[in-house]
Every structure is written in structure tokens, then in C-alpha cells.
Structure 1
């Protein structure tokens, strides 16, 4: 089994005395007349500097992503101790998403930032624009480390996963279940989606969209939660993450270690740029307060100290490797259980524009929906399809597959319709709109799908049903969700006693409320549908109309219906 598949079997890591563990041990000490928390031998970097005879240290503040902050904190402590200057360097651990938001609002007081990826710089600028702010001036320097995107597996299930080559193609095809931490908060997840898109078919955009829909069905609260879920799944699965995160997890001596699977069809890597935050202006402010004299006396400026700290970090390759990071160019050997000694070649995931485009698509595909599914059960559904089965049989198969594309957070109800289905009404309410996470509700819908052949009869009462469905969804509108009607039919309106198309369109215009949009997604399959009428209805509700030439195409057009929500009505 080569290193490009799954790394060698995990050996349980031994316990190590590292500074971060020592720092976690705290005792209460009395200082002066107050009670303070004494951590790692010092109350703070300022007290550490004072203990070394430095009574008025220059304090540097470096904000770093939690994945690399512990390693940088150790390097900072060594830097302060070895420096001939009076300096106290504080490394603050903060999620890159939070730091990007703080910077975008113009409220950061830090001297430097080490994000999880360069893509956070573009996301920060985009956030600033959305807030009406000018993006802060940044001095973006070269990366101090890198780590490839990998697929993490529980050690006890790694052998099952490696029965065939580990590839992105397996994720796209659905043969290798995967868990994806929220890419809104994780650059590793977003870069993983970039790699996944790079291996999808350029001729079939539905393939990548379908994979994102599947990944979005269950989004863990964090990468740690995703790792914890691996051991709990009956079916072998992987988490899209980074090699450094696998290394950090295994160094914590977990009950169930992980192994890093390196896709044989290639991967991407995250960079960790060092970003200097307006240090020049802070130096200028300090000079105005009289520090120019100290500078003339040979005391280092803040920017000089920051430059010295940067040099220290770039010389600390061994310390960063011990924490699971590769050199900026991807080179370097690791000696950590669960990851390969040498990493495969990986392209830097630096295409920020592509990643932001993927993020927008992800936001659309994972919008939580509140949907009323309206199913045609007219007599024509008895007619044979191309493969010899009845249309209703093919629809049942497609419906089961389509249901699997929705997460438990989606709310769905079910109507069926045909003329005079329920007294004078053309529609029958079989299940209320409720969360699919409710097992009883999900079972009820599955039972309805199975019962459809026994419900066939009558003609297609399309227009009355469409109007009633829009009214029903708007009556119980939830502003926190995408409220819509999904109507599936194999025919055209045949209700001579009901409203006509012009009346339907007029009524839809009358009840239209821009604050409570209810788009109608219409899917027609078979040769008898009236696509022109469906398109007019879709346009009136800012929905979409699709024609599936064969009933088995239902699952394909459903992906389109979900993936194009953001561009309607101009898709």
C-alpha cells in the first residue's frame, strides 16, 4: 500500500512534555494584594519579560489561526527569551473567519496575522466592501508553512477504505462517503471543494453540484466534531481536512487515532502567509509620542522587532514540522503517527476567485428549504415509459433518489393532484410541511411514495393545484428558509371546470409579495407536458421550469433546480 493511498498504520503517539501542556497547568498565586491566574510560570508575556529584567517591553501581538497558533506561541517564547531587545510577543489564537471579520470592520489592534490560507485575505476584502468599509492596508509576505488537503479516516477503518485507490473521483461518484466541515469557516474545506471541482467532469456541471448537495446534507459544527463522527459511523467515511489537522489530532493522544489518505489523483495545499497589519502607521504614532529619541539611541522599532520575529519563524522549520506543517514549498519530512513522512506533490490552492465562486455556490446549495412537493397522480401515469415500466414506477425510483439529496434540516410536505381528487378539489394534502429530520415524518413520506400507484386516476388538474399550493406555502411562510413549491407532472392542464392559464397568472400576480417569495419549480417529464405554460408559471413566481425527456431524468433536473436558486429568474 503506497504512501499516495493511505499512510502507514498508526502507532499511538507517546506523551510529550510540550510548552502548551505546561501552560495549561495553572495554579493560583498571590501577587501584591490581588489574586491572579499563574499560567506557565508567568502571568502574561509582560510578566515573563519583567522576570528577565525587562520592565517596559515592546509588545508584539500576532493573531494566528488555531491550527498554527500553538506552534507560533512556542516560537514566540523562544524569540523573546533570546532577543537582545525588550520585547514580549503575544500569539492570539483566533479562527481566520473571525479575524477576517474584525479586520474588515477596521477594529484590529494586532501587528500581524497568520491566516489558514491566502483566500481569507480576499474574503476579508469582500466583507469590508459589503460593510461599506475600505479594506485595510496589508503587507502580505510569503508563506511560513504549508499543509496538503487530505482525506482523514479512522485508523480502525482505514483498511476498508483502501481496498481501492483513494481518489476524489470516489467522492464525486458517491462510493466514498465524506464529511465536510463548514467551508464558510474552514479554508481546508473550501480548498477541498476546489480539488473536488478540479476532478469533476467539465462537461457535466451537475456532477460537482450534486456532490456539494450530498456533502451539505450534514455539516458538522467543527473539524473536531467531524473527526469524532468518523468512529461513530457504521460505514467507512472520510473527513476532508488537512494533514496538519490530522497530525494535531493524533498528537493529542485521542482514543481513536486518524490516518491521512492522500488522493492518488492529486490534491491542493494551504499556505500560511504572514500578513503585517499597518505596523508603519503604529511606528509613526509612537514616534510622535517621543519614541524617536529611543530609536536614535539604538532601540528597535516595532516593525524591526516584527521583522526579527518573522526571521525567527522562518528559521523554525523543525518546530513547525513537529507540529505537523511542511515547508512553504511542501517539502520536509514529518515524524508523526498517522501521516506520511513525505507528502505527495500538491498545487497551492491560491485561486481565490475560484474558491469564492465555489463558496457562493455552496451557500445556494445548502440554503435550508421549506418545500411543498406536489405530485401528479393522474391516470396518464399508468402509461408505459421507454423501458417498459409505467411512468409511476419510474417516478417512484427517481423520488427515492431525490429524497436522499435533502438534508434533515429541509422541511417538506406532500400533496398529490388530479381532477376531482378531493371532492371538488384537484389536490389532496397527504403530509404537512415538517422537518425531514423527524424520522416519523420521513417514514410517512416514504410510505406516500410507495402508495402512489394505488392513487392513480383522473385527469391533470394543474392550474387550480398550482395556485392552491402557492397560497398554502405563503400562509405558513418561514422567513429563515427558502419557501417553494416543487411540482412534478407528466401532462398538461385538463381540468375544464377549473381556472385557465391567464386566470392563474393574474391570481399569482395579485397575491405576489416580494417580502414572501414562493417560487414554483416545475418539472415535467414525458412527451405530453406543456413546457410553454410551465415556463410562464415559473416566470410569474420567479421559479424555474424543467423538462425531463425521460422520467429517469428527474434526479438530474432536481440538481439543476436546487443549484440555480441564486440566479433565478435569469438562469
Structure 2
């Protein structure tokens, strides 16, 4: 019994962009334009993402078969094409030239082809849904997938032992190992051109969402792994060829390291008797499978022949080729909506490992000792929540970041407006006899606020801007992140808001911008002022009205710091 695969509706109007969106736009993946449905604040919008061409060796390969008598044109993912060809031969005459032709082609190339096949067997059902959004011919599914293969993490045996126990691991363990420099290298395929990359990125995002109740922290954890990749656009088959050509496992560990591939690809490698042994492990927190749907074009007149081909693809042939004929019990479902898969893929592909220079300004006035309740219902203080949330978020700055931290308050009339807690410098460098990342974590862990202290917010921001402006340099994002639960008040540095904003604008420099990202902590925070500051400096104001939402607010601020300019 075949199931119809319906088209996803295309929006007629984009409320964010204020213009019509043509429903005839196609998805362009391998060197043109990807039309991606992305959820943004305020509604659904179409984003255009331009890409460079990626050579696959099959861009210009014809879909049509070589024989005049060919009736059914089949395109299959390269790794499963031999099994499909074997089934086609059983239906073709002995001459080998008959009614069915099979072309091995990557799904991203098929999605671009002007001529669509009668039968398409991509390496993931996601490609069918992407193609439908782009207006490509609709397909119906003949039965379930003809094969399955889970995405595994492959690595030389010694490297696998660093993040896996037996054949089990997790994406979170991999991220932690990479962040702690315990794993020499991680390589990933491009998620916009490779099924392995597309599914792996979705699995990573799903795993990070499981690891924390805060979506912002989850997103940062995913980008922490992304920022540390040795190669983010590798071809899985080419990676295996590179590994197979090596005789030294240490060289493979440093050159390729850990990389996702399908279990079928790993099985074929292991059967090849290569010198460097690769071990595969299954991520328990995000196990996804490449499924191989048998999709028949709704416009073909050879539906009956296609169904005969489907019946001829035997389970023993699929198994012999290294695939599974059944679904693994713990594998997660890939969403029906294509944007839920493409959204993290585009973010991953757009990421650029740029240098960031960030100065953290933390309010330590007396109001930070007011009672607050965390997400578990436990009573603490605003300062206590800051220690919890700030420590988790601070660990997620990438190695390309330079950072410093000030606290600001005036416990005494003669007190300076702010104190440098962590001197500015590379996060991978040293500060006060220890690593700067550790110093930052220790400063947040030990954060306290006196019961009586003013809030010299304005003067601290002016001084921070003056300190960071000379550090502005090309190809680096320089910014200030300020967290405050109140207004500028109760100190000798207090000044009228108009005076402050005038000075802030006057002392700005369009050639050396230093945007201010303001996090308003609690219901008493002066969000109107933080928004004015953001407007003057080209920054952003983020409200955390419920003190227990501080983690989310900090995550948004750190994500803004990591976003490409």
C-alpha cells in the first residue's frame, strides 16, 4: 500500500519582509540558493542563503538511461545504487540494456536536476520534503524505506576510547571532550550537501536540547562543537578514502579525528581490511538513521514497473550491502517539517569562526541579594541565580574569544565605579596564575554583592566603551555585555540619562564600533534605558523579568556575541 507524500504549503506573504513570496521558488542546494523556512520572532519567514558550489563529481551526470528502450529512470544514493542495480538487472533482459536504468547520484545533486527521475531513492526522507518545498515533482512512497543505516561516530580506536564506552557514546560527551581539548580533531560533512551532515547536525541539536532546559544554552553547546571543527565541509566518502590511505593511526587522529558516517559506510570500510582500524559508536542522546525511501514520481506512467522494482530489492541484498532492514529501537524521528531540520543546518553552515572581544560588566549592587526562586522552585537570591547560570554559560565561549570581566557597585562613597575581576585577554591564555577560562569561572562562582551598594551603571558603560574602543580591529567583533537588575542610582557617579546618552553617542566611532548588549535582570531592571543604550551603540537589550530566566537571557547575549557581523 503506497502513501501519498503531500506538498508542504508555501507562504503567500512574508510578514517580516513585507513582500510576496513566490510559491514557484525551487530549493537550490549545491551551488545556487537554498530557500529555507526558518522560524523567527514574530512569525515565519523565508530566508535566502547563498552557497558556493561543491564539486561532487556527479553534477552533470544525466538521469536518463543509455538505452532507447528505457522506460523507468531511477536515481539512487551512491551507496545503495549497487543493490538497486542488482534488482534492476533481474528485471532487464540478459543484454543488460532494458526498461530500467539506475543512476548513482547524491541527493543534493538530484534536487537541482532539471529532469527529475521516475523513482528517487535518496539517503534520507528529508530530501523529499525539501524538494517538495521547492516545488519539485511530488512523489508517493511505495512501502517503508528499503534500507536504514544509523549515523555513528567513527574514530581510530585510541581516540574512540576518549569519548565512548564500548560502542556507546553521546554527542554531549563528544562536545565536552572537544571543549576540554581531550580529542585531537573532529571533522564534519557540510549539512547542506550531505545526508550524513544534515542528519548529524539535527542529532547534535536534539542532544543539546536534552542536556538542558534552556534552548539558548543548548544552541550554544551545539555551536561550541561547531566552533572547534577541524573541517566543517568534508565529504564522508572522501574521508574514508583518506583514512584508508594511511598506515599510522596517530596521523589519522590528528588529520581527521572523530567524524560521523553511516554504519553502512563504516561496515564497508571495516570489510576492506585497512591498516588503520576505525571504531564506531552510537550516540545515545541523538541516534538518527539514514533511511532510504522508495519514492515514485506522481507524474510517471511506469508506476507498475516501479513497484516491481521495489519488490525485487531483497532484504538479503540490502543486508549484504551493509544496511539494516529494520529501525533501531532508540533512534529518534526526524521531524516532518523540513524547516525544523534545515534551521540548525543553515545556522551550522553559516557559522564563521571569527574572533570575538567581549567585556562582561556584572552588576554587584545590593539589590542582587533580593530573594529569587530557581527553575526547581528552590529559594535563593538573584546573586545565587547568577552564579548558577553564569557559570554554565561562561564555559561556552569559543577558543577564538578574548574576554574580561568587571563588577560594578559603590559600597562606600569613595569606591570606584567598577573593579576588574578578570583582566582582558585571550580565553585560552593565563590570568592571575591560572587559565583565563578557569579564572572567569572562579570569578562567577565566587560572585557576591554587598547589602548596601549603589549602581554606577552609566559611568561603568562609558569607561568600558573607552577601554574596548582601542582594541577594535579588523575581522574581530568587539562588544560589551552588561547585566544589571536596576537603574543608574545611589552613587556619586549618577548622572542624568540624557547627559549619559549624549556622551555615549558623542564618544562613539562608526569606524570602531563597540555595541552594548544589555541584559535586564529582574522586574526592576530599567529596560527602557537598556533599549536606548542598544539603539545608540548598535547593540541589543534582553529582558529577564523572571530572575529564574537569567540562563536564557545570558545565552541570548552570548549568542549575540557569537553571531557573525
Sort the TM-score into its range (normalised by shorter chain). Answer: 0.5 to 0.7
Q: What residue is the counterpart of 2:322 in the other structure?
A: 324
Q: Aligned with 1:216: secondary structure? A: helix
Q: What residue is the counterpart of 2:126 in the other structure?
A: 119
Larger Rg: 1
How many Å separate the matches in 2 of 1:79 and 1:492?
Answer: 79
1:212 aligns with 2:203: no
Q: What residue is the counterpart of 1:407 in the other structure?
A: 398
TM-score, reference length from structure 2: 0.56
Q: Deviations over 1:51-87 (max 9, x none)?
A: xxx7x56497644434434544565566656478645
Which segment drifts farther, 74-83 or 146-155? 74-83
Which segment drifts farther, 513-522 or 117-126? 513-522
Contact 2:167–2:282 under 8 Å retained in 1: no
Q: What is the Cα deviation at residue 543 of structure 1?
A: 1.3
Which segment drifts farther, 168-177 or 249-258? 168-177
Selected match of 1:373 from 358, 368, 371:
358
Q: What is the Cα deviation at residue 445 of structure 1?
A: 4.7
Q: What residue is the counterpart of 2:153 in the other structure?
A: 152
How many Å separate the matches in 1 of 2:103 and 2:407?
Answer: 63
How many Å separate the matches in 1 of 2:117 and 2:511?
Answer: 41
TM-score, reference length from structure 1: 0.56
Q: Which runs of 5+ in 1 are unaligned?
A: 1-43, 129-134, 281-302, 332-342
Selected match of 1:521 from 513, 517, 520:
517
Contact 1:152–1:241 under 8 Å retained in 2: yes
Q: What is the Cα deviation at residue 209 of structure 1?
A: 3.4
How many Å separate the matches in 1 of 2:442 and 2:324?
Answer: 57
Selected match of 1:68 from 52, 58, 80:
80
Selected match of 1:534 from 506, 530, 553:
530
Contact 1:146–1:269 under 8 Å retained in 2: no
How many Å separate the matches in 1 of 2:519 and 2:125?
Answer: 42
Q: Aligned with 1:545: secondary structure? A: strand
1:349 aligns with 2:349: no
Selected match of 2:277 from 256, 277, 301:
256
Contact 2:205–2:344 under 8 Å retained in 1: no
Contact 1:75–1:316 under 8 Å retained in 2: yes
1:486 aligns with 2:481: yes
Q: Deviations over 1:487-512 (max 9, x none)?
A: 34587546756864334446777899
Residues 431 and 168 of structure 1: CA distance in aligned 2, closer, same or farther (over 3 Å):
closer
How many Å separate the matches in 2 of 1:63 and 1:365?
Answer: 30
Residues 136 and 168 of structure 1: CA distance in aligned 2, closer, same or farther (over 3 Å):
same
Q: Which runs of 5+ in 2 are unaligned?
A: 1-60, 372-381, 411-415
Residues 256 and 125 of structure 1: CA distance in aligned 2, closer, same or farther (over 3 Å):
same
Contact 1:148–1:267 under 8 Å retained in 2: no
Contact 2:145–2:293 under 8 Å retained in 1: yes
Q: Aligned with 2:280: secondary structure? A: strand
Q: What residue is the counterpart of 1:12 in the other structure?
A: none
Residues 157 and 169 of structure 1: CA distance in aligned 2, closer, same or farther (over 3 Å):
closer
Residues 88 and 172 of structure 1: CA distance in aligned 2, closer, same or farther (over 3 Å):
closer
Q: What residue is the counterpart of 1:463 in the other structure?
A: 458
Q: Deviations over 1:338-380 (max 9, x none)?
A: xxxxx43646535235733752795599565654422348986
Q: Aligned with 2:150: secondary structure? A: strand
Q: What is the Cα deviation at residue 190 of structure 1?
A: 4.3
Which segment drifts farther, 346-355 or 521-530? 521-530
Contact 1:76–1:91 under 8 Å retained in 2: no
How many Å separate the matches in 2 of 1:546 and 1:211?
Answer: 22
Q: What residue is the counterpart of 1:312 in the other structure?
A: 309
How many Å separate the matches in 2 of 1:354 and 1:61?
Answer: 29
Residues 85 and 524 of structure 1: CA distance in aligned 2, closer, same or farther (over 3 Å):
closer
How many Å separate the matches in 2 of 1:86 and 1:315?
Answer: 15
How many Å separate the matches in 2 of 1:523 and 1:213?
Answer: 21
RMSD: 6.2
How many Å separate the matches in 2 of 1:514 and 1:58?
Answer: 64
Residues 566 and 218 of structure 1: CA distance in aligned 2, closer, same or farther (over 3 Å):
closer
Q: What residue is the counterpart of 1:89 in the other structure?
A: 101
Q: What is the Cα deviation at residue 151 of structure 1?
A: 4.1
Residues 418 and 209 of structure 1: CA distance in aligned 2, closer, same or farther (over 3 Å):
closer
1 or 2, which has the higher helix percentage? 1
Which segment drifts farther, 312-321 or 558-567? 558-567
How many Å separate the matches in 2 of 1:477 and 1:418?
Answer: 26
How many Å separate the matches in 2 of 1:366 and 1:157?
Answer: 26
Q: What is the Cα deviation at residue 92 of structure 1?
A: 3.4
How many Å separate the matches in 2 of 1:364 and 1:519?
Answer: 25
